[in-house]
Amino acid sequence: MTLADQAARAADGIRSAVAAIDPATMQAMVAELARAARVVCYGVGREGLMMRALAMRLYHMGLDAHVVGDMSCPPVGPGDLLIVSAGPGGFSTVNGLVGVARAAGARVACVTAEPQGAAPQAADLVFHIPAQTMASDRGAAATSVLPMGSLFEGAQYLAFELLILALRDHLGIAPDAMRARHTNLE
């Protein structure tokens, strides 16, 4: 298989996964973000990188957005939203943070490929991205040309950018306002 063929298969896999997201779920996530006083994002590994990318875009939108583990991350409470990523349905740290956030009165949204997992089942909102993760990358379940959880992570990136576009429209934020919040310390 040529590099071009692999790229086409990978891109088609990401497109298919994002196209399969329920539009009502996208709108529910927009509504959750629009009403949140503060948004805190968390994920492990490469999913964590995608969550950091989402937090950055939320900040560019002017939202009070943070990443769990950063020294400047404030506590969460009523009116706040914790967004966790648990592609395969749960991780010990994700499950623990969901419990802490709920006990503090925050709402929880879980981005996952496995909505029956422990983390999504404990969340207020499940953002289901039907894509291969490390939980489904072996045997007949492995359909992506991309290794392990890469299909899910790539789909997260695209889905999050589309989420930002929908949220930007919902909140009436101009693209130039987002650009004005981009760092100049590069």
Active centre residues (catalytic) = 153
CA separation for the pair 90, 47 (Å, rounded):
12
Tell me how far apart the alpha carbons of residues 138 and 167 are, in angstroms, rounded to a whole number: 36
Largest CA distance in the chain: 52
Contact 131, 103 (CB under 8 A): no
Are 34 and 163 in contact by the 8 Å Cβ rule? The answer is no
Nearest to residue 90, comparing CAs of 134, 59, 41, 51? Answer: 134
